[in-house]
Amino acid sequence: MRRAKTIAALIAAAGLMAACGSSGDDDKTERADKGMPTSSPKPAPDGQDRTYEISFEVSGKGKSSVYYNLDTNRSEQVTLPWKKSDKLTLNSTERKVGTTVSVVPGPVMLSNGQFAAAPCSITVDGKKVAEDPGGADGKHMCEYTLR
């Protein structure tokens, strides 16, 4: 029971950190865990809006909670596997600063009976840009900065 409470507290903390926004790093920053760039693969010319097709996925079996940040923070109780797709349009100022999208999967029961975070991924314009294998180790969230 204490382990489940600890996992729930970590997930809540990760959601709060994701809500705080971008780290402010430049376009050349790479994700330390996957070596993926934090900027969009096809930047629009300055002064123009850019629309992104974003998909969040959480794998696993059973029911869990999912916290995600697209244009606002949201939380849902879902049946896994789960997928959410939407479009997000950024103006030139938002692209210059960067906007972070993220998904924080809730705990699922592993085959050994323990609870751990479910695997997650983020796809932007058809390209997988972030993923976390879930389980007891790892980041327990997926995040990506759009530019």
Residue 106 binned pLDDT confidence (cut-offs 50, 70, 90): very high
Report the chain's mean pLDDT, rounded to a whole number: 78
**Over residues 85-103, mean pLDDT:** 94
Question: Residue 23's pLDDT band (boundaries 50, 70, 90)?
Answer: very low
37 forms beta bridges with: 30
Lowest-confidence pick of 12-21, 38-47, 99-108, 114-123 = 12-21
**Strands 73-90 and 107-109, bridge-based pairing:** unpaired
Q: pLDDT per residue over 26-61, tens digit each?
A: 443 333 344 444 444 455 556 689 999 999 999 988
Q: What was the pLDDT predicted at 111?
A: 80
CB 90 within 8 A of CB 59: no
Instruction: Answer yes or no: is pLDDT of 5 > 60.
Output: no
Instruction: Supply the pLDDT for residue 39.
Output: 47
CA distance 56 to 124: 9
Global pTM? Answer: 0.68
Pairwise CA distance, residues 14 & 16, whole Å? 5
Segments making up each domain of the chain, as ranges: 2-146
Of 11-15, 44-48, 54-58, 88-92, which range is least confident? 11-15
Q: Let me know the angle formed at the C-alpha of 65 by 122 and 32, rounded to the nearest 5 degrees.
A: 35
